[in-house]
Amino acid sequence: MKESISFSAEDKEKTSLNFFELRQKGIEYIQELSGENWTDFNDHDPGVTILEQLCYAMTDVAMRTSCDMKDLLSSNKLKEDNKDFAEKNAFYAPSEIYNTHPVTNSDLRKVLIDQFPEIQNIWISEPNNNGLEEKLVLISRIDILIYSFFYHQPIGDNRKEEIKKFIASQRSLGEDVQSICFLESRYMPLKMEVQLASKYNFEIILANFFVALFEYVYTPISQYSMVELLEDGYTKAEILSGPKLKNGFIKTTDFKDRLVFVSSKKIEEWKGRSK
């Protein structure tokens, strides 16, 4: 005899499937963390709206994970129609799961370098927040090092506008950029005294010195293949996390602070003050 399907009044719905219970617990948690800084928890508050979206997403995930695995991976209707079966039921590739829209400043730097081949490096600075005053999410300045920087070839105004529009399209909600600066080449005099023993080749050492100096001043960001990063010990999750790039992967650790050169006159002024 086939067992009939039944339910009991004592059965309780899982919290993960109860939208209203999740919403209430979320508000209680927010009240505990925010204290007196956030007191409006009505439906019109944007923060509550975001919380409700999160609760809905959690119930949707909980519903899907509570289903039988064969129902998640297959569909009888699709099998019968034999249409889009693989596309609708196959697992997603890692490149589709891990990638996100640019969120951090490093993410923004990566997509700009990947999108525009002439961009060699980017530095992003944010304004300081004085005291406890509230401020908008603001990027005060973006400095862009282009390929022509060391070849004295100015970048065209049309290309600059393309870069500016792309930055505007990639910025996060509520984020604004005060200024975008395309770095220009400058001549920099260099004076040094070198003493070498006779056994050393002066020309080779001088050439190596200028190469090292060039690499120190000119700091382009390299892009790597998946194989190269796997050989360096990175996992696929680490490689693919962040924004989706077209021309290779960029190591976050390659981003260094911008070099700041100080004139000899300024150094003498500081020396005078220190005395």
Domain ranges of the chain: 15-91, 102-254
Q: What is the pLDDT of residue 275?
A: 46
The tokens for 249 are 């992967």
66: left (phi over 0), alpha (psi -120 to 50) or beta: alpha
Low-confidence ranges of the chain (pLDDT < 70): 1-2, 7-12, 72-91, 129-137, 148-154, 260-275
What does the pLDDT read at residue 77? 61
Looking at residue 250, what is its pLDDT? Answer: 93
Tens-place pLDDT, residues 238-251: 998 889 899 999 99
Residues 110-134 have pLDDT tens digits of 999 999 988 888 998 877 765 555 5
